[in-house]
Amino acid sequence: MNFASEHRPTQAIINLSAISHNIKEFRGLITVDQEIYAVVKADGYGHGAVPVAKAALEAGATGLCVATVDEAIELRQAGLIQVPILVLGLTSPYGIAEILHYNITITVSNIDFFVKAYEQLEHSEQTELLNLYQLKFHLKLDTGMSRIGLQSKTDIRTFYEQIKGFTWAVWEGVFTHFATAGGGPSTYIQQQWERWEFLLEEVPESVKIRHFANSAMAMYPNYNQKSDIIRLGIAMYGLHPKDLVIKQETYCDEEFEHNATFDQMLALDLQPALQLVSELVYVKKVPSGTSVSYGATYTSQEEEWIGTVPIGYADGWLRAYHSVPVLVEGYKCSVLGVINMDQMMIRLPKAFPIGTEVTLIGMDGGLNNHASSIARQVDTISYEIVTSIGARVPRIYI
């Protein structure tokens, strides 16, 4: 089963107005000449790629970014025909026919892609496609991420000479990725910036689009207006790249608001777009000495009300989240024992009727189970919290 379950109450509720609001927040930071590309890879960070992409474009985004060609094709088949779609990861040359057909802009880091792509078209007797389509691409430069990209001026110079032999390829842009803008030593940002400027000296003037700003770099005032494209990812979904929150609310992680300081990054009114909710499907009172869940790792010390919630690690609510309380009618409720594949048990302060809403991510009664707060409690980042929500959890759009 790889589709959403419609017959249980666990749901991810996506507020598309929050997507729009967050894009407009960034639009106010940049110049009229800069573009915003909405990053909707990994199924829109777990929010749903197609609905988020459509909302982002309506809010002023002019392009989309994905991680794979398959993600780009999904958007094209959903009717997003004219908008530029940039694949940020490297791509197999053996899919060149579909890349051309769907007008997908790819990322390359060497000339080998074009050699093998042409060989593939020859092998499949489809070279006539090059009379109909051109392949737009952006060259990735490695300025310190050490992931993909050319690293020297010599490499760029060699690439420039070689790409001239592929008249069907259009070198549209060049870009890089900053490793520590969202966390890590801030001095490394300046090192990467200097490397970026140094390498750009070898990029021909005909390559007009030059971009480096993800959500984090777009929040640094010394850099945010220097990138031709803002690749807006995590912040578009209302989460801070460093998992910080401005508003003084009551978080389930009591230390969270004390740790939330912004340093030199711009403070924006980001609105989280995702709420994860379920319901109580079973409620019972147990006596002292009752063991709960696999392994009997928890045993009640007194009479307790226990509620069962239909969500588990197969839905992306991982076993590591056992220390994260959930919210019921304004109460913080601890998870009891280990989280199961499809269910978990929680301690209730009193009897609640079956069907009472349980909030795993979001607001309830003045409490906030913020994704960034959850991430801090389980030693990860909010990106992982939202992208881990499984496909069988239906997305409901408001």
Spatial distance between the Cα atoms of 50 and 67, rounded to a whole number of angstroms: 14
Residue 345 marked as a ligand binder: no
Residue among 213, 246, 244 nearest 230 (CA) = 213
Spatial distance between the Cα atoms of 87 and 114, rounded to a whole number of angstroms: 16
Residue of 37, 41, 140, 383 marked active site: 41
Spatial distance between the Cα atoms of 140 and 246, rounded to a whole number of angstroms: 34
Active site (annotated) includes residue 24 = no
Residue among 203, 231, 207, 209 nearest 218 (CA) = 231
Q: Is 185 exposed, middle or buried (0-12, 13-18, 19+ CB in 10 A)?
A: exposed
Q: For residue 230, what is the DSSP state?
A: E
Active site (annotated) includes residue 118 = no
Spatial distance between the Cα atoms of 299 and 95, rounded to a whole number of angstroms: 55
Helices (H), the chain: 16-27, 41-45, 49-58, 69-77, 96-101, 112-123, 153-163, 187-200, 256-259, 371-377, 382-387
Under a CB-based contact definition with an 8 Å cutoff, are residues 46 and 274 in contact?
Answer: yes
Residue 219 marked as a ligand binder: no
DSSP string, 13-70: EE-HHHHHHHHHHHHTTS-TT-EEEEE-HHHHHTT-HHHHHHHHHHTT--EEEESSHH
Spatial distance between the Cα atoms of 252 and 249, rounded to a whole number of angstroms: 10
Q: For residue 371, what is the DSSP state?
A: H
Phi-psi category of residue 144: left, alpha or beta, with phi > 0 → left and psi -120 to 50 → alpha: left
Give me 239's structure tokens.
């989460």
Residue of 24, 94, 294, 350 marked active site: 294
Q: Is 341 exposed, middle or buried (0-12, 13-18, 19+ CB in 10 A)?
A: exposed
Cβ–Cβ contacts within 10 Å for residue 256, how many? Answer: 22
Amino acid identity, position 354: I
Give the residue ranges of the annotated binding site for substrate.
147, 341
> What are the catalytic residues?
41, 294
